[in-house]
A and B are shown apart, each in its own frame.
Chain A
Amino acid sequence: GESVGLHLPTLSVQEGDNSIINCAYSNSASDYFIWYKQESGKGPQFIIDIRSNMDKRQGQRVTVLLNKTVKHLSLQIAATQPGDSAVYFCAENADSSYKLIFGSGTRLLVRP
């Protein structure tokens, strides 16, 4: 990937704090959701996914929350580290399609 996110919403957090990145999705038929991390010059990297039959899923230092009622997804990163600085995208997928629909992204900046 190129240097993404020149005009993206930015979240700035102190190293060690928790980060919460939000995403609103558009398709009520979407039943699979993924969070990707994209560093400058690289392709999107898988972080965590969740299916619509769940409302919470935890990974290593990350938690994804899904609220289907309001079509909202969030990514929580615990004890944020400088290496977490990147652009984060949520992506949705509907049962009838194989394609991922990506959100517009959020840039996370971690202050030392």
Chain B
Amino acid sequence: GAGVSQTPSNKVTEKGKYVELRCDPISGHTALYWYRQSLGQGPEFLIYFQGTGAADDSGLPNDRFFAVRPEGSVSTLKIQRTERGDSAVYLCASSPTSGRGTQYFGPGTRLTVL
């Protein structure tokens, strides 16, 4: 079956601009996660959704970052007033149960802020 998909695969933007990154989880998976991966490091947790609600957003670095999952399926990560330090690969993962099962990752969106 189809895995987690993310669009766009690459996004180049200018400092100060607004970006949206999209994640389509595996069909039927109730839990969805966003992580950020910088070069040479492991992924770092940003936010976790159980259904439509953000159950844990403790990893969001500041209030420029926001994520939604209005219908409990597709999620969008939104970054306002982008900064060069936001450049990274943004990974989405989903799992079939409430967070204690295996998390399956998408290919990521590479965000470059010039």
List the interface of chain A (C-beta within 8 A of B). Answer: 1-8, 32, 34, 36, 41-46, 49, 89, 91, 93, 97-105
Contact = CB atoms under 8 A, between A and B. Distances in A.
Contact of B40 (A5, A49, A91): A5
B25 interface: no
Nearest to B58: A99
B42 A99 contact: no
Nearest to A49: B102
Interface stretch (B62-70, B71-79, B105-113): B105-113
Interface in B1-39: 4, 31, 33, 35, 37, 39
A98 B31 contact: yes
A32 B33 CA distance: 17
Interface string B81-114: 0000000010101000011101111111010000
A104 B42 contact: yes
Given A43-B4, A44-B91, A99-B33, 15 more contacts: A2-B110, A3-B39, A8-B40, A34-B102, A42-B107, A43-B93, A44-B105, A46-B103, A98-B33, A98-B55, A99-B45, A100-B43, A100-B45, A102-B42, A105-B40
